[in-house]
């Protein structure tokens, strides 16, 4: 991993001390470092290009105010632009609908859907005082249904049974019916994932979406996926109206550049970050903090 970008930038900042205005030359040098750092953080190339162009636009000719040097001002611009690109502030989960609010989980197998379903259930119970039901539509992997049952129990939520001999749409209808009858506030629907994107899987999840009319359709993506996250995100965005992203495995050693790419490709806000394997390892995504992590 490259030495921290902020450190490198500070060095450049020192070199350009004593100028009152950000010049083209200052910007070029610093942006070269930023570009490399973003590529090393696995941000997709077109996303890096766009980002650099925006920072350049904002920075060029900008007057430097107060006690800031042009370099410091530029670092500030880079940080702010990074945070803004990933979504300013903290995006909360949307439950503004007639209960039960349905949350549909989408993503590749191994991304962390089942774990996140249970983490989110626990989060909604504890932070929002909601009554939460989970159900698995993964009829291809009995182990996945069982896994959801186990983690739902750990979360203190309720689990609606399903089995491999049922159709995902029938499971969804039955779970929704149960949630209505028993006054659940939220129904979280875990879906089948595949190792790679395929049309049958996309059709199935589209049908589930049409049936359930979820208030949130969350795309779960592994931060360690790096460059591949872009293609996955694009495929899911084309199949579904995504309302948010959950970036998992941020406790790993990736710099989390996928956040920038996935946000750029889908346009959906990053709502949550998975920060451990444990049931309480879910946090609201904080773009400001994540910008700091990417800058290193
Ligand atoms: P699914 O196939 O998308 O349902 O993925 P799973 O929920 O089964 O998760 C796949 C693996 O990733 C499991 O071993 C999880 O424990 C692990 N995992 C999920 N989220 C996180 C996270 O935020 N951090 C870490 N370290 N591991 C995670």
Residue 221 C-alpha to ligand 1 middle, in angstroms?
10
In DSSP terms, which residues pair with 270 in a beta bridge?
A: 245
Lowest-confidence pick of 143-147, 198-202, 213-217, 291-295? 291-295
Residue 277 C-alpha to ligand 1 middle, in angstroms?
6
58 marked as part of a ligand binding site: no
244 marked as part of a ligand binding site: no
Residue 187 C-alpha to ligand 1 middle, in angstroms?
20
112 lines ligand 1 (CB under 6 A): yes
CA-based R_g, the chain, Å: 21
Pocket test for ligand 1, best of 256, 277, 284 (most atoms within 8 A of CB): 277
pLDDT band per the 50, 70, 90 thresholds, residue 90: confident
Residue 133 clears pLDDT 70, i.e. is over it = yes
251 lines ligand 1 (CB under 6 A): yes
281 lines ligand 1 (CB under 6 A): yes
- Highest mean pLDDT out of 14-28, 48-62, 147-161: 147-161
Neighbours of 44 (CB within 10 A): 24
109 marked as part of a ligand binding site: yes
What is the reported pLDDT for 1?
Answer: 39
Residue 195 C-alpha to ligand 1 middle, in angstroms?
14
Tens digits of residue pLDDT in 113-132: 999 999 999 999 999 999 99
80 marked as part of a ligand binding site: no
Tens digits of residue pLDDT in 145-161: 999 999 999 999 999 99
Lowest-confidence pick of 16-20, 92-96, 209-213? 16-20
Residue 24 C-alpha to ligand 1 middle, in angstroms?
45
CA distances from 114 to 10, 16, 148, 151, 265 (A): 42, 50, 6, 8, 24
Distance (Å, whole) CA 275 – CA 50: 28
Share of the chain above pLDDT 90, in %: 58
- The structure's pTM equals 0.91
Closest atom, ligand 1, to C-alpha of 281: 23
Distance (Å, whole) CA 220 – CA 245: 6
167 marked as part of a ligand binding site: no
CA 113 to chain centre: 12
In DSSP terms, which residues pair with 283 in a beta bridge?
A: 273
256 lines ligand 1 (CB under 6 A): no
113 marked as part of a ligand binding site: yes
Q: What integer is the mean pLDDT of 218-242?
A: 91
pLDDT band per the 50, 70, 90 thresholds, residue 19: low
The backbone torsions φ and ψ at residue 113, rounded to the nearest 5 degrees and listed phi first, read -60, -50
Give the pair of three-digit tokens for residue 83: 């945070």
């Amino acid at each position: 991993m490259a030495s921290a970008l902020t450190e490198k930038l500070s060095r450049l900042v020192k070199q350009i001390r004593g100028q009152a205005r950000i010049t083209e030359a200052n910007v070029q040098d610093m942006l070269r470092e930023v570009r490399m750092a973003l590529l090393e953080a696995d941000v997709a190339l077109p996303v890096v290009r766009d980002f650099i162009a925006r920072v350049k636009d904002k920075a060029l000719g900008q007057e430097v105010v107060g006690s800031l040097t042009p370099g410091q001002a530029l670092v500030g611009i880079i940080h702010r632009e990074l945070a803004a690109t990933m979504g300013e502030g903290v995006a909360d989960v949307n439950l503004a609908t007639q209960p039960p609010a349905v949350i549909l989980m989408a993503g590749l197998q191994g991304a962390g859907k089942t774990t996140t379903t249970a983490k989110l259930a626990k989060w909604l119970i504890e932070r929002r005082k909601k009554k939460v039901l989970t159900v698995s539509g993964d009829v291809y992997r009995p182990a996945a249904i069982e896994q959801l049952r186990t983690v739902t129990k750990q979360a203190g939520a309720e689990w609606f049974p399903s089995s491999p001999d049922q159709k995902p749409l029938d499971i969804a209808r039955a779970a929704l019916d149960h949630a209505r009858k028993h006054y659940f506030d939220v129904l979280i629907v875990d879906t089948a994932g595949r190792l790679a994107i395929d049309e049958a899987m996309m059709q199935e999840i589209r049908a589930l979406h049409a049936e359930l009319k979820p208030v949130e359709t969350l795309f779960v993506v592994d931060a360690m996926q790096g460059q591949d996250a872009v293609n996955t995100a694009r495929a899911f965005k084309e199949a579904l109206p995504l309302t948010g992203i959950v970036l998992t495995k941020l406790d790993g050693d990736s710099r989390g550049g996928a956040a920038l790419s996935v946000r750029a490709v889908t346009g959906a806000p990053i709502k949550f970050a998975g920060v451990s394997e444990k049931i309480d390892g879910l946090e609201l995504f904080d773009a400001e903090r994540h910008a700091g992590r990417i800058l290193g």
